[in-house]
Amino acid sequence: MTWITRVLSDSPKITIMWQPVETVPEGIDIALAVIDHVGVHSLVFPCRHSGDRWISSITQRTVDVHPTHWQLWTSSRLLQESHPSDGEFLMTR
Predicted confidence (pLDDT) per residue in 38-61, tens digit: 898 999 999 999 999 999 999 999
- For 21, phi then psi, to 5°, come to -60, -25
Give the integer Cα–Cα distance in Å for 38 and 58: 26
- Give the three-state DSSP class for 18: strand
pTM above 0.75, yes or no: no
Q: How confident is the model at residue 20 (pLDDT cuts 50, 70, 90)?
A: very high
Q: How far is CA 8 from the centre of its chain?
A: 15
DSSP 8-state assignment for residue 58 = T
- For 77, phi then psi, to 5°, come to -60, -40
Which DSSP string do the residues of 20-49 spell out, in sequence order? EGGGPPSSS-EEEEEE-SS-EEE-SS-EEE
Q: What is the mean pLDDT of the chain?
A: 75
